[in-house]
């Protein structure tokens, strides 16, 4: 669905297993914003581990068979996965695909079936990923899973490309994770942080007059099946025993916000607070019993 008013145009559709809303401020963007769905489809076809014919799935199948050329979109994703692993000191690990598959999360989430956490495969290290330009090489046993940073990076790319085309401002809401560039016309940005356990409740509001930033949330409330959630601790190679139910992070890009939110979830409330405070990252953490926030 596409709507428009005097100052902005909005496209609402579904992609990447999420509800998507892209709004562009500027003159004459009604036709251009219609391209957002096609651009997300191109990214999903490159990045999805749920599509057997995606570029990522084909790359994972070539692990151990030497270097091969990948598209610019996949190369950017792999680079951001490596950047995320470094940024989080390994708390985000992009080699978790085989573990997620063993847990039953090898299809879009609504189709996930019950599974066991016994006898999970070991966690490879990022040392098994080599990227030189558009040449990618994966060591035997390595399979890539972008996790939530795929959504964050998709928001970054869409916003970046619309701004390069002359937009005044862009906001990409991908499944509740938000990336903004520029300004929303004569207004300012106000992004609500929703309580995942009570979607009608607002925990905080992120305000900014202009610029580029992202607000991303990792939660164990939305993706649970048979007593299992999707947050894996790379240090143990199994489902995290975190005491957090939600971690929301504000960062200068979508991929970075997603990586840091994931890291905080793995660490738990106390260590997650210290980790984000030490990096001077604005955040809201929700534990089983309390809410913590810092700027």
Cα separation of 113 and 120, whole Å? 16
Domain with residues 50-138, CATH architecture: Orthogonal Bundle (1.10)
- Contact between 64 and 97 under an 8 Å Cβ cutoff? The reply is no
Q: What per-residue confidence (pLDDT) applies to 109?
A: 40
Distances in Å between the alpha carbon of 291 and those of 111, 149, 246?
A: 32, 24, 9
Taking the CA of residue 226 as centre, how many other CA atoms within 13 Å lie in the half-sphere pointing to its CB?
13
- Report pLDDT for 32: 78
Q: The sheet that has 244-251: what strands, in order across it?
A: 2-4, 8-15, 18-25, 169-174, 177-182, 213-219, 244-251, 283-287, 291-294
Domain ranges of the chain: 50-138
The tens-digit pLDDT sequence of the chain (295 residues) is: 767 666 889 999 999 989 999 999 987 777 778 889 999 999 999 999 889 999 999 999 999 999 999 999 999 999 999 999 999 999 999 998 887 777 765 544 444 444 554 555 566 788 999 999 999 999 999 999 998 899 999 999 999 999 999 999 999 999 989 999 999 988 899 999 988 777 677 888 999 877 899 999 998 766 544 455 467 888 877 776 788 989 999 999 999 999 999 999 999 999 999 999 999 999 999 987 654 444 4
Residue 261's SS3 state is helix
CA–CA distance, 40 with 45 (Å, rounded to integer): 9
Q: What pLDDT score does 230 carry?
A: 63
């Amino acid at each position: 669905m596409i709507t428009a008013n005097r100052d902005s145009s909005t496209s609402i559709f579904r992609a990447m297993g999420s509800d998507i809303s892209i709004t562009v401020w500027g003159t004459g963007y009604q036709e251009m914003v219609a391209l957002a769905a096609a651009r997300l489809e191109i990214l999903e076809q490159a990045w999805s581990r749920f599509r057997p014919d995606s570029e990522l799935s084909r790359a994972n199948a070539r692990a151990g068979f030497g270097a091969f050329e990948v598209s610019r979109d996949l190369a950017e994703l792999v680079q951001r996965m490596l950047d995320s692993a470094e940024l989080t000191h390994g708390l985000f690990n992009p080699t978790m695909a085989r573990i997620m598959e063993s847990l039953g999360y090898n299809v879009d989430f609504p189709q996930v079936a019950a599974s066991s956490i016994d006898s999970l495969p070991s966690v490879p290290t990022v040392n098994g990923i080599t990227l030189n330009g558009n040449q990618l090489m994966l060591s035997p046993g390595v399979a890539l899973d972008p996790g939530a940073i795929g959504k964050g990076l998709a928001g970054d790319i869409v916003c970046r490309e619309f701004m390069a085309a002359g937009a005044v401002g862009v906001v990409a809401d991908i499944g509740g994770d938000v990336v903004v560039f520029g300004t929303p016309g004569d207004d300012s940005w106000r992004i609500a942080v929703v309580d995942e356990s009570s979607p009608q409740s607002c925990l905080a509001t992120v305000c900014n007059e202009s610029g580029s930033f992202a607000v991303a949330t990792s939660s164990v409330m939305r993706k649970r099946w048979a007593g299992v959630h999707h947050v894996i601790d790379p240090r143990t190679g199994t489902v995290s025993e975190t005491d957090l139910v939600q971690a929301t992070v504000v960062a200068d890009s979508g991929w970075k916000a997603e990586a840091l939110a994931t890291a905080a979830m793995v660490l738990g409330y106390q260590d997650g607070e210290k980790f984000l405070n030490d990096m001077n990252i604005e955040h809201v953490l929700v534990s089983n019993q309390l809410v913590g926030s810092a700027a």
